[in-house]
Every structure is written in C-alpha cells, then in structure tokens.
C-alpha cells in the first residue's frame, strides 16, 4: 500500500512546493499575458496560429481580410460580438490588445493606412451595444464594405 501512495505523495508535494509556497511564482503567474499569448490561448483553436481559419468549419480567414472590419463602426462592433470574443473571458482591455494584435499581424492590405487601434473605451461601448444575430449583422457589414470595394473572407453561414 505504501508503494502505491509514494508517487501520488511525490506529485502532491511537488504541486504544493511549486504553487503553494512561493510568492514569486504566484506573482509571476498573475502577471498579465501579452496580446499574442492571449491570441494563442483564446483564438488559435478556431483561427490557427497563422490566422487561416477553416472554411469547412465556417471560421473566416484573417489573413489579408480582417482589417476590412476595422474600417467602419459597424465592422468594429461586429468584431466585438463574434462568439470567440464574447466567450473569451478576456477583459475589455485584453480584448482591445488582442484585436490590435490581430489587425496588425493579419490585416495586411485590408488594414487601412490610417488604422485607429481599438481602445478600452471603444471596446466598452461596442460590447454594450446589443447584437441579436451576429450572422445577419456580419452579412450587413460585408455588404457595406464590399460595396466600397473592400474584400472580406468567405463565410459559409447563410
């Protein structure tokens, strides 16, 4: 019986030592994550490390397209209501940082030369604006930017 408990006790002691008794480790783990780290943790499950999305999965490609949504107020509002943002558990400050990371990393030619970074205040306001049907809202935004000659990624949802 003692031999069976030894591995479990060793693991418990290691966990206790690593997390329970070191203030430096606790403080380090509480440090805010970078926008890139939050992207990796919260967004890559759908959009991948390279921002490619998944046409089969209905996930739009960021690469060279996502900047189109930063061009209009409705486009910026749409981005705050996509399921991955709504369910990300990030603060509005973290969302602003991740959104700016996404725009600057994947926007390419779709990002306007005069791109205005998302701010915490803007994210607060945009997230407070209710969007009942995000798919229908996206359709309206895409129609407007397409009419202005700006391409967006394919999106298979009706």
Query: Which pTM value belongs to this model?
Result: 0.80
* Per-domain boundaries in the chain: 1-31, 33-147
pLDDT at 31: 80
Is the Cβ–Cβ distance between 158 and 86 less than 8 Å? Answer: no
Asked if residues 96 and 118 have their Cβ atoms less than 8 Å apart, the reply is yes
Higher pLDDT, 89 or 4: 89
pLDDT digits (tens, 9 = 90+) for 112-154: 999 999 999 999 999 999 999 999 999 999 999 999 999 999 8
Question: Is 80 exceeded by the pLDDT of residue 1?
Answer: no
CATH of 33-147, one of 3.40.50.10860, 1.10.760.10, 3.10.20.30, 2.30.30.100: 1.10.760.10
Q: What is the pLDDT of residues 4-62, one digit of tens each?
A: 544 444 444 444 444 444 444 444 556 889 999 999 999 999 999 999 999 888 899 99
Q: Report whether 87 contacts 81 (CB < 8 A).
A: no
Q: Note the pLDDT of residue 23.
A: 43
Element (H, E) at 25: helix 23-29
């Amino acid at each position: 019986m003692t031999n069976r408990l030894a591995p479990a006790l060793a693991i418990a002691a290691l966990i206790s030592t690593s997390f329970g008794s070191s203030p430096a480790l606790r403080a380090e783990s509480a440090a805010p994550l970078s926008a890139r780290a939050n992207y990796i943790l919260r967004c890559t499950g759908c959009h991948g490390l390279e921002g490619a999305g998944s046409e089969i999965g209905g996930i739009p490609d960021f690469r060279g397209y996502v900047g189109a949504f930063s061009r209009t107020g409705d486009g910026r509002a749409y981005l705050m209501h996509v399921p991955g943002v709504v369910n990300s558990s990030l603060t509005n400050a973290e969302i602003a940082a991740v959104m700016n990371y996404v725009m600057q990393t994947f926007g390419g030619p779709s990002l306007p030369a005069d791109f205005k970074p998302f701010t915490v205040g803007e994210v607060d306001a945009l997230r407070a604006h209710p969007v009942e049907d995000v798919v229908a809202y996206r359709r309206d935004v895409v129609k407007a930017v397409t009419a202005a000659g700006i391409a967006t990624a394919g999106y298979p949802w009706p």
